[in-house]
Amino acid sequence: MGSAAGFLPFHFSNKKRKLYVNWMTKTKDNMEQYSATTISVEDELQLITRAQNGERNAFSELVRIHARGVFNVVFHMSGDALAADDAAQETFIRAWQNLSSYRPQTPLRNWLYRIAFNAAMDMIRKERHVLPNDIDEMELRDERSGPESLVSQQERTTMVQKAVLSLPDASRAVLVLREYEGMSYSEIADALDIPVGTVMSRLNYARKLLKENLQPKLAVAAEADYVQTR
Amino acid sequence: MSKHVSEWLNAYYDGELHGRQLKLVEEHLAECEICRSELESLAGLSALLHEVQTPEIGSLERFTSQVNLRLPHEKRTVVSRKQVIEFGWWTIPVGLLATWAFVSTAFLLSDILSVASGLGVLGGMSEWLASGPSNNVYLSTTVGQMGVLSSNSVNFAEAAETLTRMSLPQISVQISIALLYLSWMAIWWTRHTRQGHGQFLEG
């Protein structure tokens, strides 16, 4: 790992280098979340340049770094592990095909997540009949009172997942990037190419809908916690 | 008590509020049970959402290999919109210079042919070539017939009109090309100044 002032790819202008390094410095604290494999800014830039020049090994390295993040996004968008695996692969194939149009003003992760979101949406449209898409199909409300009414962990997870999947696509994307990827509002805005104000309103809307759908279960969970602590 | 801060609670919970807005929300939360409860429900919702675990992607090597297998052998060359615009941008001066060269050559050839025709070098061909616009001097003749000009002045006016009639298209076309080229230079200079030399050269 070299220093930031070291061997940045020669074809990036000083302005581009500055933009990229500034962004990465700002998000340095999130570097652990940023990738499964820690990598320095300049090393990633080198990999990108080499991949842009057609080096498959460099691209494979980028795939290794971002695979978990991309998979996480597409899984929570689609709710299906198999479809997510396929969509994640599709994301990287599209990224490879369009790598020449990538510009370092946008961090690679954000760029990949934008592609991942589109790949997941395409997958959902294609396989809508296979993927769970109707929250009403689930029995969300349990009228019984007391901790004995708690649904099993598995059922609760499925219920939450279905509630997330029932959200409008645009709101779900914002929620997934915030809750499961821990991205800031400005990063989400960058990834989805929308204003920060829109991120805020979509997130408010998504959480409001989820609370309306899941409120009874939240109450039951709180009651269970209360009982356990006594 | 200040009014409820529901619309800011999400941003507060996500750590996205700063400065005065943050202070306002904190102050309100200290005295408002309803908003505190709402904030707690956000935390509860977040905890519930995190109960949905992402399944393991499996071996990264397997995933990477599968991606590698699906990668097209020939990388598709994607010509971005920006590249197209950049190409078009640099084509403008080349096109203008080519037009200027073509127009100048055409006019030069036309002049040579006119002179040759006047000298009778072309013989019989001069009549065929002279089928284009004639060098009539309607305006000068008309003005002369009205008696406004003396005979010497009429001759001078006729010569001037002939010269103008022959040169005007050539001059106007060349001025138009020069103006277009200068406009392009001005825009180039503006872009150059705004983007910085290195950035501009890279496109």
Distant-in-sequence, close-in-space partners of B78: CB < 8 Å, separation ≥ 6: A97, A98, A100, A101
> Do residues A40 and A118 share a domain?
yes
Which percentage of chain A shows pLDDT scores above 70? 67
Higher per-residue pLDDT: B164 or B101: B101
Asked if B45 reaches chain A (Cβ–Cβ under 8 Å), the answer is yes
Q: Is position A3 within any domain?
A: no
Report residue A183: phi and psi, to 5°. -80, 150
- Cβ distance B42 to A160 less than 8 Å, yes or no, reads no
Which residue is closest to B65 within chain A, CA to CA? A60
Q: Is position A4 within any domain?
A: no
> Do residues A145 and A227 share a domain?
yes
Quick check: B97 pLDDT over 80? yes
> Do residues A125 and A140 share a domain?
no
Q: Are B104 and A123 in contact (CB under 8 A)?
A: no
CATH code for position A150: 1.10.10.10
Quick check: A203 pLDDT over 80? yes
The band of B52, judged by pLDDT with boundaries at 50, 70 and 90, is: confident
Cα gap B51→A59, rounded to integer Å: 33
Quick check: A64 pLDDT over 90? yes
Q: What residue ranges do the domains of chain B occupy?
A: 1-52, 81-202
> Do residues A103 and A122 share a domain?
yes
Question: For residue A51, which of A4, A135, A111 has the smallest C-alpha distance?
Answer: A111
Q: Is position A1 within any domain?
A: no
Quick check: A127 pLDDT over 50? yes
Q: How far is CA B41 from the centre of its chain?
A: 52
CATH code for position A41: 1.10.1740.10
Q: Are A83 and A119 in contact (CB under 8 A)?
A: no
Q: pLDDT tens across B135-193, in order?
A: 555 666 666 666 666 667 767 777 677 667 667 777 888 889 899 999 998 988 887 77
The band of A74, judged by pLDDT with boundaries at 50, 70 and 90, is: very high
- Cβ distance B66 to A98 less than 8 Å, yes or no, reads no
> Do residues A154 and A219 share a domain?
yes
> Do residues A98 and A79 share a domain?
yes
Asked if B196 reaches chain A (Cβ–Cβ under 8 Å), the answer is yes
- Cβ distance B54 to A60 less than 8 Å, yes or no, reads no
Lowest pLDDT segment from A61-65, A135-139, B11-15: A135-139
Min Cα separation A1/chain B (Å): 22
The mean predicted confidence, pLDDT, of chain B is 78
Q: pLDDT tens across A26-49, in order?
A: 444 443 443 445 678 888 999 999
Cα gap B67→A112, rounded to integer Å: 14
Which residue is closest to B42 within chain A, CA to CA? A207
Q: Across residues A123-133, what is the average pLDDT?
A: 68
Min Cα separation B59/chain A (Å): 10
Q: Is the pTM for the entire model greater than 0.90? A: no
- In the prediction, which pLDDT does A37 show? 54
Which residue is closest to B9 within chain A, CA to CA? A204
Residues of A in contact with B73 (CB under 8 A): none
ipTM: 0.70
Structural domain span for residue A97:
13-131
Query: Which tokens in the block code for residue A59?
Result: 């691209």
Say which DSSP state B141 is in. Answer: H
Which residue is closest to B10 within chain A, CA to CA? A204
Q: Is position A53 within any domain?
A: yes
Lowest pLDDT segment from A199-208, B108-117, B175-184: B108-117
Residues of A in contact with B53 (CB under 8 A): 157
Domain endpoint, select from A131, A162, A197: A131
* Residue B127 buriedness (CB in 10 A; 0-12 / 13-18 / 19+): exposed
Higher per-residue pLDDT: B121 or A8: B121
DSSP string, A123-135: HHHHTTTTS---G
Quick check: A23 pLDDT over 90? no
Domain endpoint, select from A131, A160, A186: A131
- In the prediction, which pLDDT does A1 show? 36
- In the prediction, which pLDDT does B28 show? 93
Total tally of structural domains belonging to chain A: 2
Lowest pLDDT segment from A24-33, B13-22, B53-62, B101-110: A24-33
- In the prediction, which pLDDT does A214 show? 86
Quick check: B32 pLDDT over 80? yes
- Cβ distance A184 to B16 less than 8 Å, yes or no, reads yes
- In this complex, the residue of A68, A85, A101 whose CB is nearest that of residue B80 is A101
- Cβ distance A214 to B48 less than 8 Å, yes or no, reads yes
Q: Are A124 and A131 in contact (CB under 8 A)?
A: yes
Q: Are A214 and B48 in contact (CB under 8 A)?
A: yes
> Do residues A92 and A158 share a domain?
no
Domain endpoint, select from A131, A150, A167: A131
> Do residues A142 and A123 share a domain?
no
Which residue is closest to A222 within chain B, CA to CA? B44
- In the prediction, which pLDDT does A181 show? 93
The mean predicted confidence, pLDDT, of chain A is 77
> Do residues A194 and A221 share a domain?
yes
- Cβ distance A67 to B60 less than 8 Å, yes or no, reads yes
Q: Is position A5 within any domain?
A: no
The band of A182, judged by pLDDT with boundaries at 50, 70 and 90, is: very high
> Do residues A54 and A151 share a domain?
no
> Do residues A121 and A178 share a domain?
no
Quick check: A177 pLDDT over 80? yes
Residues of B in contact with A89 (CB under 8 A): 63, 66-67, 70
Q: Across residues B27-44, what is the average pLDDT?
A: 91
> Do residues A168 and A194 share a domain?
yes
